[in-house]
Amino acid sequence: MGLQVFIDGSFFPEEEAKISVFDHGLLYGDGIFEGIRIYNRRLFMLEEHLDRLYSGAKVLKLEIPLEREELSERIRETARLNDLSEGYVRLVITRGKGDLGLSPLNCSNPSVIIIVSTIQIYPERVYTEGLHLVTTSTRRNNPDSLSPQIKSLNYLNHILAHFEVVQAGVDEGLVLNDSGYVAECIVDNFFSVKDGVIITPPTNAGALYGITRLVVFRLAEQLGIEIREENLSLVECYTSDECFLSGTAAEIAPVTHIDSRQVGDGRPGPVTKKLMEAFGDFKRVNGVPID
């Protein structure tokens, strides 16, 4: 049996899972989403993901048609139906069907879509050899125009930056804000390590309030590693002792080259490896059981 997709109260085989061409999520990117990992039949950091989802919906004045507890159960139900011990949940809330006009007032019924599948954005080699990054010319949207804390369906800025990564033939991109400081990677948060201290861009510099980023802060505290939010210039990144990134799909991955410059000794650093190991232990025992 293929994947079963939840759409507005019903389950559909993936080949039959459809939304209206008049859905404003399709026409205007008017909606929000979350990506949630399944580890050991547990929904990892589910409550934190739902916190971010409902916060984003409030900012967009988007009424999620399910109460939080019911939505949580629908996610668990979809995960059970697809029977994946290890997987990835894409939770999407769209403004729903409207007309060809821009106004969201013409969309009376927001849609809830839950997809459970698998995901791997980097090959396994990068976790032992490290990622090669290039700085993109595409800048992150100014937070005053579109807050990065709203995980919206409009990812065109990220897609344009990704084209530059593909053209450069590297693994990932480093994206700057309009002041020239590092905001984040294309779909991941970025961290630098200097003299044993972890530094990551603040969210008001254009970085997403990442859920895995939050886990990194917790693990660093447990490991007794100092971690700070500070603006990061490219020069500071080039001269770091080590770098890494974090994200729901990527987890924690080392960065060994930026713009053809070797970071540290060109291998995953000791702080990064400690965090990767701690994350591996943490993810197996934390989360909401799907059963």
For 131, the 3-state DSSP assignment is strand
* pLDDT tens digits for range 109-121: 999 999 999 998 8
Of the candidates 250, 246, 241, 243, which has an alpha carbon nearest to the alpha carbon of residue 272?
243
* pLDDT tens digits for range 35-65: 999 999 999 999 999 999 999 999 999 999 9
Q: Average pLDDT in the 274-279 region?
A: 98
pTM above 0.85, yes or no: yes
With bands split at pLDDT 50, 70 and 90, how would you rate the model's confidence at 145?
A: confident
The two three-digit tokens of residue 270, written as one number:
């000791």
* pLDDT tens digits for range 57-107: 999 999 999 999 999 999 999 999 999 999 999 999 999 999 999 999 999
With bands split at pLDDT 50, 70 and 90, how would you rate the model's confidence at 159?
A: very high
Q: Is the pLDDT of residue 199 over 70?
A: yes
Q: What is the pLDDT of residue 46?
A: 98
CA 39 to chain CA centroid, nearest Å: 16
* pLDDT tens digits for range 123-133: 999 999 999 99
Active-site position among 58, 61, 97, 151: 151
| Cα separation, 179 vs 236, whole angstroms | 15
For 90, the 3-state DSSP assignment is strand
Please give the C-alpha separations between residue 106 and each of 24, 93, 98, 245, 266, in angstroms, as whole numbers. 10, 16, 5, 40, 54
| Separation of first and last alpha carbons in the chain | 20
* Other C-beta atoms lying within 10 Å of the C-beta of residue 108: 11
| Percentage, residues of the chain above pLDDT 70 | 100
Encoded amino acid at 116, one letter: V
Instruction: Please provide residue 46's backbone torsions phi and psi, each rounded to the nearest 5 degrees.
Output: -60, -45
**Average model confidence (pLDDT) across the chain:** 96
| Cα separation, 230 vs 236, whole angstroms | 11
Q: What is the pLDDT of residue 1?
A: 62
β 42-43/288-289 pair status: antiparallel
Domains plus CATH for the chain?
4-117 (3.30.470.10), 126-285 (3.20.10.10)
Pick from 26-30, 121-125, 235-239: least confident: 121-125
In the residue annotation, 61 being an active-site residue is answered as no
| Percentage, residues of the chain above pLDDT 90 | 93
| Cα separation, 143 vs 161, whole angstroms | 17
Q: Which residues face 235 on adjacent strands?
A: none
